[in-house]
């Protein structure tokens, strides 16, 4: 029997079966058609997203960090474009020779390079902020999976001279110290983004659209005067070398506006090269280091006495025999004196005279004056690490402690606090806020601490202190009347005073119309001299003289050489 004539073939299939199969086929085609419509019409964005994910990328557009300029417009900090090398580890299949060549160009260990390329990530940085010439050599290698992107690196033209004022930024161009940190929100700006198309080698072949434009940071104009800053840094550096000191600081304030025209500290560092930084170099000592101010506090005690009407400038105080016992402790003068007027107590820097003045006050009266001046609390300038010093509650004061605080022991301050406090004498008894940025308008209203009459009387006393017979004739400046006060204090170590000193001088000029306040601190001078009048006062004179001439301040005294009388030796301030 032939196969074609088989009776099985003559049997008909059930009609429902054919219809069922046809229905299944139609349903399948309908499902595919519906899915096609859904994906291409309803969910069109899904397919586009999947397609674009193969070739489209969103790249970040860096914002340029704002520049920092001094009050004259000279640039102190700018951002320069650099390149960073990054990789897609999955695509970066380098031969050993290629890896060695790349590592050599980037000055990396080849094992570290291979470790980064072996990371299970879609993106890794190989080396940040490389020089342009190195970037060109890396690009010329055309290595698979190795790419570059533009970033910015901060550059500081003045180097270590402005290091503590400006601070620095990190590798991501964010502020880490100083002005860079204090004003980071204004300087940083906001990065933008852009959609591009890249080929399989990661090269951009088409710029599609801008998603968000970058917002560059705002420029900042500081109150700082670059010339004044250079003077402060240079003369401080010379003084530390001459006196073999451990550290030091200088602050220069504009007495009229409260602007910080100069702030220098040593040891310093180069913010352009921070490979071997130490904590000692980074510390902004004028704001983070506290010390006992010594005799620089005596003018405030005298001012309180005048303000309360307890004494006049010519009131006599018996300081003989040069010592005063309070309880179980005895206060000494460096040189014994007989009766001294209040003005002479400041001129000669008598501990005994100052303590006797302080003994007429209630503890709360002295504490309130110190608190009004701002001791014991940070100035809140925005600098990282700024401290407020130490001012204990008056209820805990013993009589001997009140006496020693009257001449600067048992209380601690920062150099910036001390400089600001002297604004009360340079001005007519009021204190105004300090400013790190240039002030285009009149300063904010100050807080009245003393009456104008009291401030002027103390100003006259401080002028006596720098004349022959005072503690700081080396603070004199040819052509200008100068007023100021020395301070020398033992350093506290382990709760007791050590045979190490901090030498201080704070003053202002010209006395007829004070324009600048300069405060100088020299930490641990070890070349034989340690009194403030010998160590810190000459730095004050050099910085003040140069700054007054730089700012064009007219002289208010005869232009004749400064002479320090030899027959009347400078009186060392009492410790």
Set 84, 295, 350, 412: catalytic member: 295
Secondary element (H or E) of residue 33:
helix 15-37
The answer to whether 193 is a known catalytic residue is no
pLDDT of residue 568: 44
DSSP state of 160: G
Q: Going by C-beta distance under 8 Å and a sequence separation of 6 or more, which residues neighbour residue 492? A: 292, 498
Strand partners, 525: none
**Angle, vertex CA 85, rays to CA 83 and CA 88, nearest 5:** 145
pTM for this structure?
A: 0.82
Q: Phi/psi of residue 225, each to 5°? A: -105, 120
User: Using CA atoms, how far apart are residues 268 and 277, in angstroms rounded to an integer?
Assistant: 9
User: Using CA atoms, how far apart are residues 76 and 379, in angstroms rounded to an integer?
Assistant: 24
Per-residue pLDDT of the chain (575 residues; tens, 9 = 90+): 555 566 655 666 677 777 778 888 888 888 888 777 776 777 667 666 666 655 566 666 667 899 999 999 999 999 888 888 888 777 777 888 888 888 888 888 888 888 888 877 767 888 888 888 888 888 888 888 788 877 788 899 999 999 999 999 987 788 889 999 999 999 988 877 666 666 555 555 555 556 677 788 899 999 999 999 999 999 999 999 999 999 999 999 999 999 999 999 999 999 988 877 777 888 899 999 999 999 999 999 999 999 999 999 999 999 999 999 998 999 999 888 999 999 999 999 999 999 999 999 999 999 999 999 999 999 988 888 899 999 999 999 999 999 999 999 999 999 999 999 999 999 999 999 999 999 988 777 789 999 999 999 999 999 999 999 999 999 999 999 999 999 998 887 777 778 899 999 999 999 999 999 999 999 999 998 999 999 999 999 999 999 999 999 999 888 766 655 444 456 777 76
Walk me through the domains of the chain, giving residue ranges and CATH numbers: 58-107+123-188+196-221 (3.90.1310.10), 226-550 (3.40.710.10)
User: Using CA atoms, how far apart are residues 366 and 368, in angstroms rounded to an integer?
Assistant: 5
DSSP strands (E only) in 278-402 = 316-318, 323-326, 329-332, 339-341
**How many beta carbons lie within 10 A of that of residue 248, not counting itself?**
28
């Amino acid at each position: 029997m032939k196969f074609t004539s088989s009776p099985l073939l003559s049997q008909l299939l059930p009609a429902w079966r054919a219809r069922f199969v046809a229905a299944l086929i139609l349903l399948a085609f309908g499902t595919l058609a519906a899915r096609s419509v859904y994906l291409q019409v309803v969910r069109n964005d899904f397919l586009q997203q999947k397609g674009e994910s193969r070739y489209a990328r969103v790249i970040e557009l860096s914002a340029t960090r704002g520049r920092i300029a001094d009050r004259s417009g000279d640039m102190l900090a700018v951002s320069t474009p650099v390149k960073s090398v990054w990789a897609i580890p999955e695509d970066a299949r380098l031969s050993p020779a290629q890896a060695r060549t790349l590592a050599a160009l980037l000055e990396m260990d080849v094992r570290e390079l291979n470790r980064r390329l072996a990371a299970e990530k879609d993106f890794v940085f190989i080396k940040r902020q490389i020089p342009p010439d190195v970037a060109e050599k890396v690009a010329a290698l055309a290595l698979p999976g190795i790419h570059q992107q533009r970033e910015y690196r901060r550059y500081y033209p003045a180097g270590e001279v402005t290091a503590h004022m400006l601070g620095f930024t990190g590798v991501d161009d964010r502020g880490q110290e100083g002005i860079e940190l204090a004003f980071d929100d204004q300087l940083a700006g906001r990065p933008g983004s852009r959609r591009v198309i890249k080929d399989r080698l990661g090269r951009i072949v088409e710029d599609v659209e801008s998603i968000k434009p970058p917002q560059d940071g705002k420029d900042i104009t500081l109150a700082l005067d670059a010339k004044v800053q250079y003077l402060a840094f240079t003369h401080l550096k010379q003084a530390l070398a001459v006196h073999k000191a451990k550290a030091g600081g200088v602050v220069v304030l504009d007495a009229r506006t409260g602007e910080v025209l100069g702030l220098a500290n040593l040891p310093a560092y180069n913010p352009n090269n921070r490979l071997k930084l130490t904590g000692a170099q980074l510390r902004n000592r004028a704001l983070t280091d506290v010390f006992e101010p010594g005799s620089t506090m005596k003018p405030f005690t005298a001012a309180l006495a005048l303000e309360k009407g307890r004494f006049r400038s010519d009131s006599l105080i018996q300081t003989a025999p040069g010592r005063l016992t309070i309880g179980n402790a005895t206060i000494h003068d460096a040189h014994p004196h007989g009766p001294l007027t209040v003005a002479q107590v400041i001129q000669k820097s008598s501990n005994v005279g100052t303590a006797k003045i302080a003994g007429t006050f209630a503890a709360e009266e002295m504490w309130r004056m110190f608190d009004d001046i701002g001791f014991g609390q940070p100035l809140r300038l925005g600098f990282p690490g700024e401290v407020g010093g130490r001012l204990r509650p008056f209820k805990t004061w013993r009589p001997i402690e009140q006496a020693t605080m009257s001449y600067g022991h048992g209380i601690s301050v920062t150099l910036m606090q001390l400089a600001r406090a002297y604004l009360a004498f340079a001005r007519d008894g009021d204190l105004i806020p300090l400013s790190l940025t240039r002030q285009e308008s009149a300063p904010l209203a100050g807080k009245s601490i003393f009456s104008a009459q009291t401030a002027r009387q103390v100003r006259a006393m401080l002028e006596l202190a720098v004349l022959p017979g005072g503690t700081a004739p080396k603070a004199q400046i040819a052509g200008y009347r100068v007023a100021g006060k020395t301070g020398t204090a033992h350093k506290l170590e382990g709760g007791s005073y050590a045979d190490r000193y901090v030498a201080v001088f704070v003053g202002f000029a010209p006395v007829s119309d004070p324009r600048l306040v300069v405060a100088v601190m020299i930490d641990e001078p070890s070349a034989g001299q340690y009194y403030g009048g010998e160590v810190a006062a000459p730095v004050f004179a050099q910085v003040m003289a140069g700054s007054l001439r730089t700012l064009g301040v007219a002289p208010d005294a005869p232009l004749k050489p400064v002479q320090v009388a030899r027959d009347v030796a400078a009186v060392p301030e009492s410790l």
